[in-house]
Structure 1
């Protein structure tokens, strides 16, 4: 059984109980509680599930996420429905599993005739905002210089959509095609930024950890954070709002600013990768320092945005969620980036706090990023369409339930994965294929049925021992949950 562990102290419990009594006696508080909550969703790009200070293993500093976890719920068994940018974000928007989201890879646009939870919130009266990297139109890359080209069709009232790091360089190295590169062009920084990325591409990708030459204010995630702050300033008073902030870090390249890099000099007690000898231990540490620095900067922006919400007098009625679209291998199993069924790739951080959430808890209940669609709809009092696979996390967040799902799914051609909380079964993955991050010439799921992996994550959390041949009964039980 997956369990929820309380981290509240007795003093915190008594304080909360007293506050609840006062709230019950205050008509104004009852009116406030009846209003639909605001929703703040913060989504870094490619952040591993274990790269949080609250996890206690990695020396990364995330004080604002940790504080959010202390007053909310932190999930230790959360995964994405697909460990690749476009499919994962399409699963979130549609509330559907990978095989039903309409976006099998980065080469597809989100189907505009498919309902999003953003549309449903907007139709229910929400002011729906978003900024940063949405990646719902990877095939055509039509952001528009103002970043608003497809936002209304997806369900947004206001926002700004920009490209991911490499997409921005590829599409706008000569003529900007999206708002962030347009901003760099206007400020005279475009050529310097493009040259820096081309140098990183040519000098070994992850092994190049020099800081970006951009000034602090022009760094992409700081630009995105400023856009989020501007959107909050412009949000109409007295109307519930939704804001999704999609940061481009800590996605590669490891282009942290000089200030961010300096903050991790001397921090060397990072675990080395599981089974990787491609780089020296010193370079692996430098990689992890920059990766952590980008995450800490995003955490800083979470704190600034929460201060902004509090200054509007809305923090107590704002549901705040921190998660990621997928993880990052960081050299584990001799792989980098994502696309893989291993936990560093499919696992994500997931923390939620706000009205109706019984806080101070850590849970190993099974949850998917896709479940946020139904969670936000239920919190807003909007019916969840029967066409969605998403299941609301609100019963667990309220403390009414300790379990959520019996099986988690994730997929990315050519493999599919199911996980029951102990055993992970993967069908269609061949780890001898070294180029899973490229979608070109990969076999299909149907062509890879002979490859089966089974891991006991309780006994083997690093997923080094394939038990498929030794536990055929477990394979048979779990394969019933795989797609045909």
Structure 2
């Protein structure tokens, strides 16, 4: 990097479907994330971060555009990111950043046109280089005896594609938690991490870089390698909240595998930190760990995401780097796509006026303790529809059938008790704020 260019490098770790409470900082669960914990000690933890929509394509589109879900132009998983809508990736690249990404982007969820080298849409989205692969189920569902994305092409070249497809078919039953037959180096998250490290080690040194690593895990199914599984044998887990679907042992096995996937991603985080340190760039690299949405993991008898409960919409968010205050925790609400403005701010770029994203840099550097009064999230699909507004304590949900729910997360963290009838004035106030946001023009 030029001695005159003091803009930081940026590393964004963005695993898929990592719920907020499954991190080592939460002592109520036996998670092991030593590298994320180390990052937290060096920086700031956001305890009330949520996603703009608990579904892959709209959440990632909101991040790319820096816009709230109602304005990001990707409503659900049957739409592609509109190529006429600017991305913060493009802005960074135009400003001289070397912009690279690996893993599952999910910005063309409808067409799913992946080239075997993984580069089909990267230039159009704003990347200089990278490898875009399908998510777990999309990769397997596309298999017809030939690969249609770079990960399946890699497995096919090793004679492992059919074995992987057969194993994944068994995992349509979520109670199947046996280790994958794939060797360590062929496990998808390990392959993604290796791709990113290889590219990172070849980055130019005369300009700043941005690297986004999109892990396929810990998205379901809970496939883990034999080595990952062995590390969690015998570890107890609390059962999910309000679930009568599966027996305790099955729930425990599922949660062990989910934790193992997170621990594996954390191991890769440590490898990236070591690689950046070896380049002599750790002190000038902004490091961010988050996720596109959460995972219900059986709470309320629900699995996956798409719902308004906190395990689905809540995400981890930890940031460390240049001038970021250490050992800090911020409890006010923030939202995933605030990262778009944050990255532009650190790159000394103006934040476009049509972005909803707000930079976290003033919070991170201690210039302010205020950010937002509330954040909004939502999802509209053929089978459900809702929007929510969240102020860090109270959450108001308006469903498309007109019904409403009000939860006090401070006193009711599992969102069991709807306060709408007991607190009608608060419900009306929050609904009015939500409607104002929803009625803003595109």
CA distance in 2, matches of 1:51, 1:244: 21
Match for residue 344 of structure 1 among 300, 311, 326: 311
SS in 1 for 2:153: helix
SS in 1 for 2:428: helix
SS in 2 for 1:307: helix
Q: Which runs of 5+ in 2 are unaligned?
A: none
Matched, 1:316 2:283: yes
1:370 corresponds to:
337
1:33: how far off?
A: 9.2
SS in 1 for 2:353: coil
Q: Give CA deviations for 1:436-469 in whole Å, capped at 9, x if unaligned.
A: xxxxxxxxx3xx12x1100011110110000111
Matched, 1:236 2:198: no
- Checking the alignment, whether the CA contact within 8 Å between 2:332 and 2:391 is kept in structure 1 is no
Matched, 1:167 2:135: no
Q: Give CA deviations for 1:136-178 in whole Å, capped at 9, x if unaligned.
A: 0000001100000000000000100000000000112421110
Matched, 1:128 2:99: yes
1:51 corresponds to:
22
1:25 corresponds to:
none
Q: RMSD in angstroms over aligned alpha carbons?
A: 1.0
Pairwise mapping of residues 139-158 of structure 1 onto structure 2 (< 5 A)?
Answer: 139-158=110-129
- Checking the alignment, whether the CA contact within 8 Å between 1:173 and 1:194 is kept in structure 2 is no
Q: Give CA deviations for 1:211-244 in whole Å, capped at 9, x if unaligned.
A: 1000000000000000000110121112100000
1:434 corresponds to:
none
- Checking the alignment, whether the CA contact within 8 Å between 2:5 and 2:207 is kept in structure 1 is no
Matched, 1:219 2:219: no
Pairwise mapping of residues 80-479 of structure 1 onto structure 2 (< 5 A)?
Answer: 80-201=51-172, 204=173, 206-268=174-236, 270-413=237-380, 414-428=385-399, 445=400, 448-449=401-402, 451-479=403-431
1:296: how far off?
A: 0.2
CA distance in 2, matches of 1:411, 1:217: 37
CA distance in 2, matches of 1:49, 1:168: 26
CA distance in 1, matches of 2:4, 2:63: 27
CA distance in 1, matches of 2:314, 2:189: 22
2:49 corresponds to:
78
Bigger Rg, structure 1 or 2: 1
CA distance in 1, matches of 2:295, 2:160: 29
- Checking the alignment, whether the CA contact within 8 Å between 1:33 and 1:317 is kept in structure 2 is no
1:32: how far off?
A: 6.2
CA distance in 2, matches of 1:351, 1:43: 11
Q: Which runs of 5+ in 1 are unaligned?
A: 1-30, 429-444
1:403: how far off?
A: 2.4
Q: Give CA deviations for 1:60-111 in whole Å, capped at 9, x if unaligned.
A: 1000000000000011000000000000000000000001101000000000
CA distance in 1, matches of 2:308, 2:350: 32
1:34: how far off?
A: 5.9
SS in 2 for 1:242: strand
Q: Give CA deviations for 1:373-431 in whole Å, capped at 9, x if unaligned.
A: 00000001011100100000001000112221101111001100001121100010xxx
Q: TM-score, normalised by structure 1?
A: 0.88
SS in 1 for 2:215: strand
Q: Give CA deviations for 1:184-218 in whole Å, capped at 9, x if unaligned.
A: 000100010001011222xx2x2111010000000
1:365: how far off?
A: 2.0
1:22 corresponds to:
none
Q: TM-score, normalised by structure 2?
A: 0.96
Q: Which structure shows the bigger proportion of residues in helix conformation?
A: 1
Q: 1:34 to 1:355 in 2, by over 3 A?
A: farther
CA distance in 1, matches of 2:329, 2:225: 33
CA distance in 2, matches of 1:387, 1:329: 33
Count matched residues. 431
- Checking the alignment, whether the CA contact within 8 Å between 1:378 and 1:392 is kept in structure 2 is yes
**Greater Cα shift, 413-422 or 218-227:** 413-422
SS in 2 for 1:481: helix
